[in-house]
């Protein structure tokens, strides 16, 4: 999409709709809204059914205020946390001089984590002294619990100069009673929005017809002051010669939406006009070129402007008269009519819209129309380009929704299967992610470069606590003839594998590259993770001062990115707790590390943080430390190959004289391993039983058991997992 057009389309979500030319001022409601601002209410709630006039009221009210206004028009696709917070941060950034460019990477990197995003946003707003009104229209379309939780927290924590206004058909799942008791809530309800006779006079007059007082009273009575019904009545009154008879026969209940619009509004327009209305109902937003592309006609821009001037159900979205949308009630009716009038044409109309959006570079809208038109193959093809962008922007829910609509087709397209694997990995569904990797391999055509799946494969291995598998993949992509790295994500994964394997030199090289590439690519979570792993490397290398410096740098960098609440920073807090000299700060760091790690960490990171924090708390005289080490032991127990996490736990337990601590000393060979023992040792990192190993080596099971006992004795360890890590430390693996 051209820059100007893309900005124009996006901007329609981030500015109030254009008020009608003949605006009815509703002073009694404006007074309620004004009082909410002046009393520094934390939340102004406008909650009423569809067609009550909520958006028009807010847009006209804000036009008379002097405060900066951030407006977000919510759409159904905005329930994705990353998408919602991206738009809200952008809206606020356009209204106020906060550093939206700094906040956006935080949204992306945390994938819309409400704790991370809201903390960063509140901190940014605290530095702004001028008043700000943040309006979110159609908030009822949000159905994500994390977004609701974050919005309630934003309302609670926003500084006094910021007022949040929500327009919605249903109350949000907030603790509204608490806000009422604290007098921090201003409310406008459906009953408040009903038009009285004086207000109805202005609304009907806007349609070009005047009524006497008795007629207005009867009309308000029959419509119960419902704005949408009054607008429709005004349109029809302009065409009747007997307004009294019309009012007596007019209904203003919900059935009016379907029956009256069909019988009166659509029946009153010409054939060509009706066709254009129905054809363009497939669109969420309209501009002239898009209308012409979908209808195959001309003059779309002029038609939009003229229709909006005479019909308040076509709403202008910008001051230039370029973008419009149908009132939701009218849009829904038009779609019902189109489905009945020409269902066979709907796929073609969606295809035309998709072609237009694709030509403009708006692949998200193009995919939505391909899916709506049933063209799954084309939608899947577009995901090759749009899917990675959604991943990079943290819009996991949006991507997952598209893949679910593709159904079984996703398993037959390599990049769709890979994208689905990433979605499940990020969601913590590791077995399902493994299944998607298998589907990708099966679907891959001859010559397909399967190394694109390596970062996901490595991350899955580490998430399961399988250091050996991750290390094997790292060595494969680092082999001679392979590029040093294809992305910062791959470099970070390679560095992580070497870190957990205790291979300091290899880890340092990979992590230095990861930090450099993440800085160039502006991938902030990868940047922070690479710094955190550097701290782990230095701590395991036995250099406390270097570890403290690296941990502090990771934490400072995370804070500068607004990622100080990101769960990936937990090991840095734990290492600073372990290496710092201030007992008070050490305890605080340890407790915060635990809080972060329990939020979403993988088993390796969780076990490592539990161990470091338990180690620290025991030294501080807190008996809770022993409980943490016991918990770490249970986590390590479910890891196939915990690498240095298991070694650190053994070291800490040994130092404190706890059970299971006999393997914590520095590795040293008690005796040299024989060739046969070395052969068995090489199989120990693999997910093979001793019987499987005996089959591979063509020896008896008892022979393998004997060799394993000898290996453990010579390495000075007590089990297979410890033997694997000791062998790595001694460069035997």
Band of residue 98 on the pLDDT scale cut at 50, 70, 90: confident
CA within 13 Å, CB half, 271: 0
Eight-class DSSP state of 286: B
Report how far residue 658's alpha carbon sits from residue 492's, in angstroms, rounded to the nearest whole number. 35
Cβ 206 vs Cβ 234: under 8 Å: yes
Mean pLDDT confidence for 474-479: 81
| Structure-block tokens of residue 634 | 């249970």
Rounded to an integer, the average pLDDT of 584-600 is 92
Q: Quote the mean pLDDT of the chain.
A: 85
Q: Where are the beta strands (DSSP E) in 275-328?
A: 314-316, 324-326
Give the distance, in angstroms, between the CA of residue 239 and the centroid of all CA atoms in the same chain: 49
CA distance 189 to 195: 12
Candidate ranges 89-103, 567-581, 694-708; pick with highest mean pLDDT: 567-581
pLDDT tens-digit readout, 23-34:
777 888 999 999
Task: Find the helix or strand (DSSP H, E) in which 595 lies.
Answer: helix 583-600
Torsion of CA 635, 523, 120, 420, to 10 degrees: -60
Which of the listed ranges 229-238, 423-432, 717-726 does the model predict with the highest average pLDDT? 423-432
For residue 111, what pLDDT band results from cuts at 50, 70 and 90? confident
Higher confidence at residue 498 or residue 126?
498
Distance in angstroms (rounded) separating the CA atoms of residues 30 and 217: 23
Confidence category of residue 599, pLDDT binned at 50, 70, 90: confident
- Which tens digit of pLDDT belongs to each residue from 196-219? 887 777 777 655 566 778 888 887
Which whole number is the average pLDDT over 615-639? 92
Sign of dihedral through CA atoms 431, 436, 441, 443? positive
Distance of CA 372 to the CA centre of its chain: 23
Sorted by sequence, the CB contacts under 8 Å of residue 205 that are 6+ apart come out as 22, 234
Q: Kindly give the interhelix angle for 570-579 and 603-619, rounded to the nearest 10 degrees.
A: 20
Give the helix/strand (H/E) hosting 384: helix 376-392
**DSSP-based three-state secondary structure for 13:** coil
pLDDT tens digits for range 508-566: 999 999 999 988 887 888 899 999 999 999 999 889 999 999 999 999 998 888 787 88
Helix axes 197-206, 213-223, angle to 10 degrees: 100
CA distances in angstroms from 154 to 43, 62, 76, 120, 196, listed in the order given: 10, 21, 21, 10, 35
Residue 704 Cα distances to 268, 641, 698, angstroms: 89, 19, 10
pLDDT digits (tens, 9 = 90+) for 270-320: 888 889 999 999 999 999 999 999 999 999 999 998 888 777 678 888 777
Q: What is the pLDDT of residue 328?
A: 76
Structural tokens at position 206: 């806007």
Average pLDDT over residues 252-272: 65
Handedness of CA 425, 418, 365, 370 (dihedral sign): negative
Give the pLDDT of residue 198: 79
- Tell me: the pLDDT tens digits for 10-23? 667 888 877 766 67
The pLDDT-based confidence of 615 (bands split at 50, 70, 90) is very high
CATH topology of domain 675-729: Arc Repressor Mutant, subunit A (1.10.10)
Residue 5 confidence (pLDDT) above 50: no
Name residue 166's beta-bridge partners. Answer: 45, 136
309-313, 404-408, 460-464: range with lowest mean pLDDT: 309-313
In the block, tokens 């995370």 appear at 558
User: pLDDT tens digits, residue range 424-458?
Assistant: 998 889 999 999 999 999 999 988 888 889 999 99
Is residue 234 within 8 A of residue 243, CB to CB? The reply is no
- Specify the 3-state DSSP secondary structure of 95: helix
Whole-number pLDDT of residue 1: 40
**The residue to which tokens 């939701």 are assigned:** 328
Beta-ladder partners of 208: none
Element (H, E) at 197: helix 197-206
Percent of all residues in the chain with a pLDDT value above 90, rounded to a whole number: 43
The tens digit of pLDDT for each residue in 148-175 reads 999 999 999 988 889 999 999 889 999 9
CB–CB of 36/312 below 8 Å? no
Least confident of 194-208, 486-500, 512-526, 627-641: 194-208
Phi, psi of 314 (to 5 degrees): -110, 115
Contact between residue 525 and residue 110 where contact means Cβ atoms under 8 Å apart: yes
Report the pLDDT averaged over residues 640-644: 89
Domain ranges of the chain: 25-192, 195-341, 455-655, 675-729
Which residues, listed in sequence order, are joined to residue 466 by a DSSP beta bridge?
641
Query: Hey, is 484 helix, strand or coil?
Result: coil
Give the whole-angstrom CA distance, residue 155 versus residue 176.
Answer: 11
For position 563, what pLDDT does the model report? 80
In the chain, the percentage of residues whose pLDDT exceeds 70 is: 91
pLDDT, residue 207, reads 55
CATH of 25-192, one of 3.40.50.1220, 1.10.1060.10, 3.40.50.300, 3.20.20.140: 3.40.50.300
Residue keyed to tokens 């030509």 = 359
Q: Are 714 and 674 in contact (CB under 8 A)?
A: no
More confident residue, 46 or 232: 46
Predicted pLDDT of residue 582:
93
pLDDT at 479: 64
**Looking at residue 482, what is its pLDDT?**
57
For domain 455-655, the CATH superfamily is: Tetratricopeptide repeat domain (1.25.40.10)
CA distance 258 to 248: 19
Whether pLDDT at 373 is above 90: yes
What is the 3-state secondary structure of 651-714?
HHHHHCCCCCCCCCCCCCCCCCCCHHHHHHHCCCCCCCCHHHHHHHHCCCHHHHHHHHHHHHHH
* Distance in Å from the first CA to the final CA of the chain: 53
């Amino acid at each position: 999409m051209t820059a100007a057009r893309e900005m124009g389309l996006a901007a329609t979500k981030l500015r109030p709709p254009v008020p009608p030319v003949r605006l009815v001022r509703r002073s009694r409601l404006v007074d309620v809204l004004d009082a909410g601002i002046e009393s520094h209410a934390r939340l102004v709630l406008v909650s009423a059914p569809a067609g009550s006039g909520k958006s028009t009221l807010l847009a006209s009210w804000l036009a008379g205020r002097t405060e900066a206004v951030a407006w977000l028009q919510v759409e159904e696709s905005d329930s994705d946390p990353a998408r919602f917070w991206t738009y809200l941060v952008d809206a606020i950034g356009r209204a106020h001089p906060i550093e939206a460019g700094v906040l956006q990477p935080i949204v992306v990197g945390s994938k819309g984590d409400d704790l991370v995003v809201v903390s960063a946003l509140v901190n940014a707003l605290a530095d702004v002294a001028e008043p700000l009104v943040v309006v979110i229209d159609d908030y009822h379309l949000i159905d994500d619990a994390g977004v609701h939780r974050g919005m309630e927290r934003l309302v609670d924590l926003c500084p006094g100069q910021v007022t949040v206004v929500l327009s919605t058909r249903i109350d949000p799942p907030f603790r509204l009673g608490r806000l009422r008791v604290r007098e921090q809530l201003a409310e406008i309800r459906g009953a408040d929005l009903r038009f009285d006779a004086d207000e109805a006079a202005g609304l009907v007059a806007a349609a070009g017809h005047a009524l006497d007082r008795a007629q207005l009273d009867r009309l308000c009575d029959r419509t119960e002051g419902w704005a949408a019904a009054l607008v429709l009545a005004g349109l029809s009154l302009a065409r009747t010669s007997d307004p009294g008879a019309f009012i007596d026969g007019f209904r203003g209940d919900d059935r009016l939406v379907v029956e009256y619009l069909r019988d009166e509004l659509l029946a009153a327009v010409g054939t060509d006009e009706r066709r254009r209305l129905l054809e363009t109902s497939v669109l969420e937003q309209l501009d002239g070129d898009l209308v012409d592309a979908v209808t195959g006609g001309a003059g779309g821009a002029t038609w939009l402007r003229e229709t909006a001037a005479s019909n308040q159900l076509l709403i202008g979205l910008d001051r230039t008269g370029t973008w419009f949308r149908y009132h939701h009630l009218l849009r829904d009716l038009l779609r019902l009519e189109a489905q009945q009038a020409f269902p066979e044409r709907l796929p073609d109309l969606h295809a035309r819209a998709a072609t237009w959006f694709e030509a403009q570079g708006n692949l998200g809208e193009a995919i939505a129309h391909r899916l709506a038109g049933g063209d799954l193959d084309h939608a899947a093809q577009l995901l090759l380009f749009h899917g990675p962008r959604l991943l990079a922007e943290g819009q996991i829910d949006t991507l997952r929704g598209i893949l679910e609509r593709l159904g079984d087709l996703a398993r037959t397209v390599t990049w769709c299967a890979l994208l689905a694997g990433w979605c499940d990995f990020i969601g913590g569904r590791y077995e399902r992610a493994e299944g998607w990797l298998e589907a990708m391999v099966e679907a891959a055509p001859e010559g397909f470069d399967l190394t694109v799946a390596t970062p996901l494969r490595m991350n899955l291995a580490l998430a399961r606590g399988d250091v050996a598998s991750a290390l094997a993949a790292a060595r494969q992509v680092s082999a001679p003839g392979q590029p040093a790295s294809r992305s910062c994500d791959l470099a970070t994964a390679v560095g992580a594998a070497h870190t957990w394997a205790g291979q300091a030199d290899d880890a340092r090289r990979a992590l230095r590259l990861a930090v450099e590439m993440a800085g160039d690519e502006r991938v902030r979570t990868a940047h922070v993770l690479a710094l955190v792993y550097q701290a782990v490397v230095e701590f395991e290398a036995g250099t406390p001062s270097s570890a403290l410096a690296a941990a502090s740098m990771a934490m400072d960098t995370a804070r500068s990115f607004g990622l100080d609440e990101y769960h990936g920073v937990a090991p840095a807090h734990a290492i600073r707790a372990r290496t710092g000299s201030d007992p008070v700060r050490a305890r605080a760091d340890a407790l915060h590390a635990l809080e972060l790690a329990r939020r979403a960490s993988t088993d390796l990171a969780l076990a490592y943080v539990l161990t470091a924090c338990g180690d620290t708390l025991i030294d501080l005289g807190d008996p809770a430390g022993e409980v943490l080490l016991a918990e770490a032991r249970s986590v390590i127990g479910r890891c196939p190959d915990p690498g240095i996490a298991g070694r650190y736990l053994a070291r800490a337990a040994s130092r404190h004289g706890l059970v299971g601590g006999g393997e914590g000393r520095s590795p040293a060979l008690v005796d040299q391993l024989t060739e046969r023992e070395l052969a068995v040792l090489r199989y120990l990192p693999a997910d093979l039983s001793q019987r499987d190993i005996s089959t591979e080596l063509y020896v008896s099971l008892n022979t393998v058991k004997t060799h394993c006992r000898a290996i453990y004795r010579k390495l000075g360890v007590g089990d297979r997992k410890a033997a694997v890590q000791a062998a790595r430390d001694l460069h035997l693996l």
